[in-house]
Amino acid sequence: MPSSDRTRHADANDVVRLLMRSAETMLLVAENEGAVLRAAVDLLGERFGYEMRYILLWREKSGELEMAEAGGPASDRAEVRSFKTRLGSGLTGQCAETLQVLNARDVRKDPRYLGVVGECASELCVPIAVGERLIGVLALESKELDAFSAEDEEALVAFCQLVALALIGARTAARNQQDIAVLESLNEVAAHAAKLDLGRTLDAAVRAFQRVTTSDSTAVYLFDADRAELNVAALVFDPRLYPADYEQSVRARPLPIGEGMVGWCALHREATLIDDVSKDPRPQRIGNVPLASKAAIVVPLLVDERLVGVIRAVKMGVGSYADDHFRFAKTLAHQSALAIAAAQAHEAIQELSRTDELTGLANARAFKKRLANEVDRAQRYLRSLSLMVIDSDALKRVNDQHGHAAGDRLLAGVAGALRGAVRSTDFVARYGGDEFVAILPETDLAGARVLAERMLTVLATRDEGGTLCTVSIGIASLEAGGGDDLFRSADAALYNAKRKGKNQVQVAPIKAVA
């Protein structure tokens, strides 16, 4: 062993004892790959006495050896920590390619040497492998020429065999833990599916997917077959990594089939793992979030070849997903698709009791539930939310003059015009009688007023006698999380519009911030 690093050469018995202690130490940490690497590097310094020591691991996916752990005076240098090489390149690359020990006694005279540390004079590279299966390379460097002996080589070959076995054990343990995590996630999604609650099923699916794939942002898009588009139904993300308006940007507009990586996945019914989204033509930028330095997993949600939706996950770092993450994602997506489809079927049955028979709009029951959810979301994330209450000014007159069938046609006409005048993210309902409501997420009072003024014209129709039938509108806004009784405020504003002569918009005062 290098005389500069050790005070004496170890005899064979010393080497055996050191190897036995090393084996014990690494077996104690063999459930964690990082701990195995740290223990190996520490042992080489503290017990074997080597000064500069590095372990590079083979990444089959990228076809590179990359620095995984380092010890010694140069270990904290950026150029050391970021070092990578390919098979056959440099001493470490040649060692990995041939699975042979390489002892460069004078690196200045060895054309294979790739200089990273300037004070290196000699280098010893030992493969970390099991049979023909490459795991990595151990590299030792010394400031002295011809620092590594045949005894060093023999001892380090045995040491690297221990490291290889410990790493295999750690990776097996990690896979087992991941399998257990996937099973737990599957059970969690199945438990919510059994309750046939679509909202909770979606939330369980998106959170389980985020957890199992170790992602930074995960979204479930549901497929709207009538419009051939995908809408965000559930989203979870790490707020430390994304801007404040990230959720608003993600939910901003539906995705047509074929557009972006989500639309591509829906069109082709094919799961995909993208190592670098900035170099793939399919991903689209969301708001101000750059595409650089991110990987993505996108999986279709299919039930008997029927598209239910798409689930997509994003993680910081190029190539940050392992093959196991992709495998787990596809398994979980299959279970999630079944659970979501079952909940959707149940909701479709329930929808019969939530839909107004005359207009086809949601009824008061559905409106109240949706309003509570939107108020909760707006307060939680400090987002704007507005509500519009609309009332026909002419229903009683039309019923009296032309009959109730004509009144029904008037209401159906107002409902159709209302449905066509709002965004896909808005929610409209018939509250009862001649009163309609529109929930406007991510809309402040000024924006709601502009829409309401336009609706005075859009919703005005002619009755059987040609007389103009107008509407009155009351609006209220819940700004930055304030207020808890939005409907009462908007309804009071509507009453004010009626009292002041109808066919106009009146605005309720903004609620104080809660």
Q: Which residues are catalytic?
A: 434
DSSP assignment letter at 278: G
CA-CA distances (angstroms) from residue 374 to 219, 351, 442?
Answer: 18, 19, 10
- Sequence-distant (6+) residues with CB within 8 A of 307 are 223, 225, 266, 269, 300, 301
What is the spatial order of strands in the sheet that 102-104 belongs to? 84-86, 64-71, 52-59, 133-142, 122-130, 102-104
Secondary structure of residue 35 in the 3-state scheme: helix
**Strand extents, DSSP E, 275-365:** 294-303, 306-316
Q: Which long-range contacts (CB under 8 A, 24 or more apart) does 411-416 make?
A: 411/358, 411/359, 412/358, 412/359, 413/461, 414/390, 414/459, 414/461, 414/471, 415/356, 415/358, 415/359, 415/360, 415/361, 416/359
Ramachandran angles phi, psi of 221, nearest 5°: -105, 130
If one counts every other C-beta atom within 10 angstroms of the C-beta of residue 160, the result is 21
Distance CA 322, CA 83 (A): 20
The pair of structure tokens assigned to 198 is 């679509």
Distance CA 227, CA 316 (A): 33
Distance CA 204, CA 231 (A): 18
Whether the CB-CB separation of 48 and 155 falls below 8 Å is answered with yes
Judging by DSSP bridges, how do beta strands 471-478 and 505-507 pair with one another? parallel
Identify how many contiguous H helices and E strands the chain contains and give both numbers.
14, 19
DSSP string, 206-230: HHHHHHHTT-SEEEEEEEETTTTEE
Secondary structure of residue 429 in the 3-state scheme: strand
What is the spatial order of strands in the sheet that 255-256 belongs to? 255-256, 229-237, 217-224, 306-316, 294-303, 272-274
Judging by DSSP bridges, how do beta strands 385-392 and 217-224 pair with one another? unpaired
Whether the CB-CB separation of 482 and 514 falls below 8 Å is answered with yes
Whether the CB-CB separation of 28 and 166 falls below 8 Å is answered with no
The pair of structure tokens assigned to 284 is 């689209």
384 class by beta-carbon count within 10 Å (0-12 exposed, 13-18 middle, 19+ buried): buried
CA-CA distances (angstroms) from residue 276 to 260, 292, 396?
Answer: 14, 8, 63
